Amino acid sequence: MQFDPRPVKESFALIEPAAVRAIAYFYGHLFAAHPRLRALFPPAMNVQRERLFRALTRIVWSLDCPPGLTTDLARLGCDHRKYGVTPAHYAAVGDALLATVRRFAAEAWSPEVERAWAAAYATAAEIMIEAAAADTSPPWWPAEVIGHERRTRDIAVLTLRPALPFPFLPGQYATVQTARWPRVWRAFSIANAPRADNTLRLHVRAVPGGWVSTTLTRRTRVGDTLMLGPARGTMTAPAPSGRDILAVAGGTGLAPLKAIIEAVIAADSPRPRVHLLYGARSGGELYDLPDLIRMRARSPRLQVLPVVSAEPAYEGLHGTLPDVIGHFPSWRDHDAFVCGPPAMVGQAVRRLRQDGMPPDHIHHDRHPEEH
């Protein structure tokens, strides 16, 4: 990359504390100069604002490590195809970005700083535009809802059939857009390994104020069409390592782990064995237990241990998942996959580390960008 990252990082450090005002200024500038661009963005901009700043922060602080940055930017460029972004839009965004730096870097601004930002942005935009142009897969897939089961008041399991082959690896997630909320994409993990009939399942909890999750859970019917963005995510089924597997799933965090387990136990081999700790707040919230019991009946390699954290009358194992991990002698010789509420994931990972599990044997999703 042909630019000096130092002035960019130094001026960004000054902008960061004023992030909220800087982002508002950025979008104000962008939409004032190019009103038509507003139509590419969702009606409410709050999530979008945070997302832009998270992406910008990641990019600026990794300007020194071009290989990782190039991969991230290329993926970002490909993902932007589903928004209908064209190369001309990049110039408009670049103008708004430079105006924002000029305004918020204040006394640290200089022609040298501006040149460094312009060069960094031009490089990033070029990588994104070229990656998008080279991507021959569809920008999004229409998918028909062929199954919709309300498992609890707030959780539904949807079965979708994309109109074209939809490639993904077990454990990945896809972004989803509903007709009700144009331009609003949210990520959901795919809860099965790839199937010959191209169908896939999503486990969706309606979160308060969640437009897409509430629509998918409460207002979606068999026969509706959704849009799927390309599959993403690095927490995928492991290559054989000789180690058995511990899967720790909290709530709908079960989805990607179920896909990974399905792929692992499909192989005709006596190992690895899989222990699944499946946690919920109450017995009624163990929304997928009957299906997991069926999987266990088909595969002697799978053990399923349901755990409930907040229902004293539940007849079964009580506790939080991180505590239950500690009830066993040791998981040190396993590979671990952990998914669920971020606080639970953090505690479970710490517990496994304390037990002596090497960090590269512990797998969890970097929180999906659009989850």
Taking CB under 6 A as the criterion, the residue among 184, 248, 263, 280 binding ligand NAI is 280
How many CB atoms neighbour CB 354 within 10 A?
Answer: 10
Q: Which residues of 97-123 are buried (b: 16+ CB within 10 A; e: fewer)?
A: bebbbebbbeeebeeebbebbbbbbeb
Nearest distance in Å: CB 371, ligand NAI:
5
- Identify residues 145-204 at the interface with ligand NAI (CB under 6 A): 173, 189
Q: Which is nearer to ligand NAI, 229 or 253 (CB)?
A: 253
Nearest distance in Å: CB 202, ligand NAI:
9
Q: Which residue blocks in the chain are alpha helix, DSSP H?
A: 5-15, 19-33, 46-61, 66-79, 87-104, 111-134, 211-214, 254-266, 289-298, 321-325, 342-354
Q: Which is nearer to ligand NAI, 15 or 339 (CB)?
A: 339
CA distance 58 to 63: 9
Q: Which is nearer to ligand NAI, 7 or 322 (CB)?
A: 322
Taking CB under 6 A as the criterion, the residue among 344, 352, 357, 362 binding ligand NAI is 344
Which three-class secondary structure string do you get for 60-74?
Answer: HHCCCCHHHHHHHHH
Q: Considering the rule CB under 6 A, would residue 362 count as an interface residue with ligand NAI?
A: no
Q: Considering the rule CB under 6 A, would residue 321 count as an interface residue with ligand NAI?
A: yes
Build a one-symbol-per-residue string for 10-49: x at contacts with ligand NAI by CB under 6 A, - elsewhere: ----------------------------------------
Q: Which is nearer to ligand NAI, 224 or 285 (CB)?
A: 285
Q: Considering the rule CB under 6 A, would residue 339 count as an interface residue with ligand NAI?
A: yes
Taking CB under 6 A as the criterion, the residue among 20, 91, 106, 343 binding ligand NAI is 343
Span near ligand NAI by CB under 6 A; candidates 45-53, 140-148, 277-285, 292-300: 277-285
CA distance 263 to 267: 7
Taking CB under 6 A as the criterion, the residue among 292, 309, 357, 369 binding ligand NAI is 309
- 323-332, long-range: CB < 8 A, 24+ apart: 324/277, 324/279, 325/246, 325/248, 325/277, 325/351, 325/352, 325/355, 326/351, 326/355, 330/355, 330/356, 331/246, 331/355, 331/357, 332/356, 332/357
Residues that contact ligand NAI, how many (by CB under 6 A): 26
Taking CB under 6 A as the criterion, the residue among 253, 259, 264, 265 binding ligand NAI is 253
Q: Considering the rule CB under 6 A, would residue 220 count as an interface residue with ligand NAI?
A: no
Taking CB under 6 A as the criterion, the residue among 81, 205, 258, 361 binding ligand NAI is 205
Q: Considering the rule CB under 6 A, would residue 368 count as an interface residue with ligand NAI?
A: yes
CA distance 156 to 206: 8
DSSP class of residue 82?
Answer: G
Name 200's bridge partners: 160
The answer to whether the beta carbons of residues 23 and 12 sit under 8 Å apart is no
- Identify residues 256-275 at the interface with ligand NAI (CB under 6 A): 256
**Binding footprint of ligand NAI on the chain (CB under 6 A):** 173, 189, 205, 250-253, 255-256, 279-281, 285, 309, 320-322, 339-341, 343-344, 347, 365, 368, 371
